[in-house]
Structure 1
Amino acid sequence: MSYLQPTEFVTKMVDAGESKIFMSTRDAVIRAYMAGAILALAVVFAVTINVQTGHPIIGAALFPVGFCMLYLLGFDLLTGVFVLTPLAWLDRRPGVTLGRVFENWGKVFVGNFLGAMTVAVIMAINFTYGFDAPVSKVGQVVATIGESRTVGYAEHGAGGWLTLFIRGALCNWMVSLGVVGALISTTVPGKVIAMWMPIMVFFFLGFEHSVVNMFLFPLGLMLGGAFSIGDYIFWNEIPTVLGNIVGGLSLTGLTLYSTHVRTAPKRQLA
C-alpha cells in the first residue's frame, strides 16, 4: 500500500532520527546548507507572488514547493531534527545520548544558517542590481517584514516575547506534520500532498519559523531595515527556536510516539 499505518511511519520517524544523529558532520552540514538555501528561495518566491498579486493566500498555497523539494532530496531543516532526533533517545536506541542529539542540532543550525545567508546575499544583490540601484518592491517588503517582526514584538515587551514563543510553537506543530507527511506514503504524489497541507497553513497564518527567519532578517538588514542584529537575535530568533522545539516535540513528536510506539495496554477480551 502507498499509505503507511501510523505504527509504521512513527517507527520510521524514530529510525530517521537515529540515522541523523550518527550522520557524519560533513553530510549533516551539507544537507542542512542545501535545505536552508532552498527554503530561502521558496520564501522569495512566495513574497514575490504576494507583492505581484496582492493575494497572500496564493503565495501561501505555492510556498510549500520549496519544502517538498528539499525533503524529497533528503535535506534537513532544524525544525525537523528538533522532532525526530529526540525520539531516538526516548526509544533508547544504542549509542544515542542527549549530547549527540544536541550536537546534531548544532550542525544543522550552522548548515541552515549558512545556506539561508548565502541566498540572502544573492537576493540582496538581485534586488539592488549589485547595490547600484534602489531596493526593488519585493526587497522593500522583505525589509518591512524584518522590522515588524522584531521591533514590532519589542513594543509589547514580555507579551511580545511570549507571542513569538507561541507562534514558534504553532509553526513547528504544522511544519513537523509536514516532516511526518514525507514518511506516511511510499509514492511521490502521496508525500507531496501530505507535506503540502500543513506547510501552507503555517505560512499563511504567519507563524515563526527559525530557518525562514535566518533568511528574512539578515536580508532585511542588508536592504536597510530599521532594526539591529540584537533585535533579530533577542526579539525573534531565540524565542522562535525555543517555540519550534517545544511545539514540534510536544504537539507532534511525543504525541505520535506515545500512542503509536509506546501504546497503553489494551483491554483483553474474554
Structure 2
Amino acid sequence: MNNFFSPAEICENTIKGCNNKAKLPIGKMIILGIFAGVFIGFGAYGFTIILAGAGTGFEATFAKLVGAGVFPVGLMLVVLCGAELFTGNNLMTLSVFKKEITLGAMLRNWGVVWVANLIGSVLLAWLLSQSGLYGEAMTAKAIGIAEAKVAIPLFSVIIRAIFCNMLVVLAVWMQSGAKDIVSKIFAIWFPIMLFVLSGFEHSVANMFFIPMGIFCGANITWGQAFINNILPVTIGNIIGGALIVPIAYYYTYAKKSLN
C-alpha cells in the first residue's frame, strides 16, 4: 500500500479542505489567522538570528542556506498544528473553480485571514523588539532586511512574489499527499527553503520583517511598508498561488472531461 496519495487524490483532498476553510466562523478565522502570523514570524526570527551572525562572502551564503533551512518551521507549525495562512489559502480558488464554494466565501476568508496574519506578525515583531533579544547585530540585520525589501522595484517585487507563492502552495499541495508526519515535514521543508534561499517575497513573512525593521529604527514609514512591498507582494502571491498553480491543477485533475 502506498504511503502517499496520487496527484488526483491530493487535488480532491485539497478541495475538501478548502471547502472547510470557507465554512469557518469569523472568530476561528481570526484566532487561527493570528496564530499563523506568529508562526511565520517565528521562522522569520530564526532566519534573522542566523544571518545576523554571519560575515561576508561564502560565510554569508552558507548562513543564508542554514537560515533558509530554519524558516520552514513556520509553515510546518501552520499545517501540522492548525492555523489559517493567507498564502496557503490561495488554493481556495480550486473550490471556486469547482463551484463548491462561492467567490464571496473565498474572499471573506482571504480578507479576514490576511488581516489576522498581519495582526499576529506585527504583534510578534513588537514583542520581540521589547524582549532584549535584539542586540546590535540583530538590530542592524533587521533594519537591513526591511530597508532592502521596501527598495525593490515594483515589477521585480511582483515577480518574486509570484514565484514565492507557487512554491508555498506546492509545499501545501505536497504535504497533502503524505500520510505520515515525517513525510509532511519534508514535503514542506524543501520548497519553502528554496523560496527563501532564492530571495522570493512572501507577504506574511514581510508582515514580520518590515515592521520588525521599523521597530528597530529603520528609515521606513508604514506607508512605504505597505505600498512598496506588502500590498504588491500580496498581489504577486495571489497570481502565483491562486491562479497559476490552481488553474493548471484544476484543468489537469479536477475539471470533468467532455470526452
Q: Give TM class, smaller chain.
A: over 0.9
The match for 2:81 among 73, 77, 82 is 73
Tell me, yes or no, if the aligned pair for 1:128 and 1:136 is still in contact at 8 Å. no
Deviation at 1:66?
A: 2.2
- C-alpha distance after superposition, 1:148-175 (max 9, x if no partner): 111x22xxxxxx1111111110100111
Q: State the partner residue of 2:106.
A: 101
Alpha-carbon separation, structure 2, partners of 1:128 and 1:195: 28
Tell me, yes or no, if the aligned pair for 1:14 and 1:88 is still in contact at 8 Å. yes
Amino acid aligned to 1:236: N
Structure 1: any 5+ residue segments left out of the alignment? 130-134, 154-159
Alpha-carbon separation, structure 1, partners of 2:53 and 2:131: 17
Q: State the partner residue of 2:57.
A: none
**1:91 has 2:98 as partner:** yes
Alpha-carbon separation, structure 1, partners of 2:99 and 2:257: 18
Q: State the partner residue of 2:231.
A: 238
Deviation at 1:145?
A: 1.1
What percent identity do the matched residue pairs reach? 27
Structure 2: any 5+ residue segments left out of the alignment? 55-59
Between Structure 1 and Structure 2, whose CA radius of gyration is higher? Answer: 1
Alpha-carbon separation, structure 2, partners of 1:99 and 1:34: 24
Write out aligned runs for 1:111-260 (5 A). 111-127=116-132, 135-150=135-150, 152-153=151-152, 160-260=153-253
Deviation at 1:119?
A: 0.7
Tell me, yes or no, if the aligned pair for 2:53 and 2:137 is still in contact at 8 Å. no
Q: When the two structures are superposed, what TM-score results if normalisation uses the length of structure 1? A: 0.88
SS of residue in 2 equivalent to 1:73: helix
Tell me, yes or no, if the aligned pair for 2:93 and 2:243 is still in contact at 8 Å. no
C-alpha RMSD of the superposition? 1.5
Q: State the partner residue of 1:132.
A: none
Tell me, yes or no, if the aligned pair for 2:175 and 2:185 is still in contact at 8 Å. yes
Q: State the partner residue of 1:63.
A: 71
Tell me, yes or no, if the aligned pair for 2:165 and 2:240 is still in contact at 8 Å. yes
